[in-house]
Amino acid sequence: MTISILTIIVAVLVLAAGLFVARAVPSVRAFFTFRGKHLVTCPETHKPEAVDVAAGEAALGVLLSEPTLRLKECSRWPERQHCGQECLQQIEVSPENCLVWNIVSGWYEGKSCAFCHKPFGPLQHLDHAPALLGPDLKTSEWKQVRPEKLPDLFSTHQPVCWNCHITESFRRLHPELVTDRRLEPRRHVI
């Protein structure tokens, strides 16, 4: 009798654990799908805006079978904090294509540094961030640019690797300490 009760308890616990895992896996997946800065086209202005989805809430919603998707930050806030958040549809349809990291990585990949011509591969999280060369010949890391400005900059700026960005920044800030010949960025039609 004791053994059979124990068996039932174990069976119930295993079943409960199985049910929890069955819910937890898509919940964790939802968290990783929606975390990070996303770019959307604002339905009001039709311009790019940078938003953050409440990924923790979305994950909890999946766990509790009450799907919840809302913004926790937008580049138009606080002025437009009470908008209808219709832009969330764009993230729901294609979260990966809205992720700033993927957009930036896609822009660099296949291009070459404007100075040393080294080709770019996909962005790596542990690598130094590459930079952008503006029409004023100043370089800046892409992470220092407001994300919602990136789509415009991609049509006016050229890609620069981190090494050249550091070298060119030093050259610009301390010209008196540099004696070697300046590398000119390769001019090309964007």
* Closest residue by Cα to residue 139 from 121, 113, 120: 113
Cβ 115 to Zn ion shortest distance, Å: 5
Kindly state whether residue 115 participates in binding Zn ion, applying the rule CB under 5 A: yes
Q: Does 183 bind Zn ion (CB under 5 A)?
A: no
Q: Reduced to 3 states, what is the DSSP secondary structure of residue 111?
A: coil
For 135-169, give one letter per residue: b (16+ CB within 10 A) or e.
eeeebbbbeebebbebeeebeebbbbbeebbebbb
Residue among 53 and 113 whose Cβ is closer to Zn ion? 113
Residue labelled with tokens 């002025």: 79
Nearest distance, CB of residue 161 and Zn ion, angstroms? 3
| Least distance between Zn ion and beta carbon 163 (Å) | 6
Q: Tell me whether residue 47 or residue 186 sits nearer to Zn ion (CB atom).
A: 186
Q: Residue 98: which residues within 8 A CB-CB, separation 6 or more?
A: 38, 39, 40, 90, 91
Cis peptide leading into residue 130 (ω within 30°): no
- Please select the residue that binds Zn ion; options are 113, 132, 133, 150, rule is CB under 5 A: 113
Helix %, strand %, coil % for the chain, to 5?
45, 15, 40
Q: Is 132 in the site for Zn ion (CB under 5 A)?
A: no
Q: Should residue 74 be labelled a site residue for Zn ion when binding is judged by CB under 5 A?
A: no
Least distance in Å: CB of 127 to Zn ion? 13
Q: Which is nearer to Zn ion, 41 or 163 (CB)?
A: 163
- Between residues 40 and 113, which has the closer beta carbon with respect to Zn ion? 113
The contact set with Zn ion (CB under 5 A) reads 113, 115-116, 161, 164
